[in-house]
Amino acid sequence: MRSPQHTHRSGRAATAIAVIIVLIIIGAAVAIWLVTRGVISPGGLYLQGADRAREQDISQAVTKVAPAVVRIDTVVGGGPEGILKGLFGAPSDMFPRQGLASGIIINARRGYVLTNAHVVRGVHEMKVTLPDGRVFGGRVLGLDPVTDIAIAQVKGRNLPAATLGSSDGIRVGSWVIAVGNPFGLENTVTAGVLSAKGRTLVGEQGFAVTDLLQTDAAINRGNSGGALTDLRGQVVGMPTAIIPFAKGIGFAVAIDTVKSVIGELVRTGKVAHAWLGIDTATRAQDNRVVITRVMRGTPATKAGLRTGDVIESANGASVRRGEDLARLMRTLRAGDRLRLTVLREGKTITITTRLTESPQVK
């Protein structure tokens, strides 16, 4: 016979097992309900709160901008001009080379397509393909190698157009989305954060491209000229470069830079960048910008600037890095005046000069 104590233990064990079974059933039911409601995925990835909101924001932003992000196919070299160049020492231009990149329609009525200068430099054939399948021939209206910005044009009706936002207004750490055609894979979307602002890179022709945005959103060959947007679907940048073999480091031209040159590119086909005629370096020990070379026959020579002068301010703005001066120079045009405060042999002096057009981009 069982003792009362043994019976009591068995009853408690049975009760515990029953409770466990009930809890398992309830847990399974709750899990199924959460999956059907989309709160969690079958793999257990929670998409609650901010994550679900961000997913929805990214999707909505892509819906707004993607129709205006186009594929650009180009042919460089070949043709009469390429053959003539080849006869005079540039044989590579005798043979056509195909290129593939991206662009953004920014004016539906006029058919303006924004892209990189390095995408359309020297092209004699250009094809623009929209996400809806329409294909147009394109022509380059203007390009600027200093900022790596170009404007092309297509003729078509009912074109979509992207909305330009503000690169100055977006904060580092904000979510951004890259839309383009990497490796010809049309309408590819990647997302990440704005990693930094105000970066400087040396472009293909040796120009220092300033005020670039840095992002960890995946950017690959073919993304050039595409869109970098905020979560509202407004374009804040245009992907332009990557660092080979570096993961999560891509660069985009700031859209505020684009806005500053669009009008001039459309009107004249180029940007008359102001030129002072100096080289500078930033001293690491005191963060001062020092003139390392003054070129002959330039506004700098005429103004009396000398090698070794320390630039303290330009047009009233403090200069602490070479990028500070480069950023200011980008806002000026040939014929504008530049007032510099420089430190020379312990004395502060003010020098004013009238800038000329950079001979490199004439």
Residues catalogued as catalytic: 118, 148, 224
Neighbour tally for 280: CB within 10 Å: 19
User: In angstroms, what CA-CA distances link 227 with 13, 63, 101?
Assistant: 64, 13, 12
Of 128, 123, 233, 222, whose CA–CA distance to 170 is shortest? Answer: 233
Q: Rounded distance, CA 68 to CA 238, Å?
A: 13
Q: Rounded distance, CA 174 to CA 235, Å?
A: 13
Question: For the chain, how are helix, strand and coil distributed in percent, rounded to 5?
Answer: 30, 40, 35
Of 240, 243, 252, whose CA–CA distance to 192 is shortest? Answer: 252
User: In angstroms, what CA-CA distances link 189 with 176, 186, 194, 234, 281?
Assistant: 11, 9, 15, 15, 39
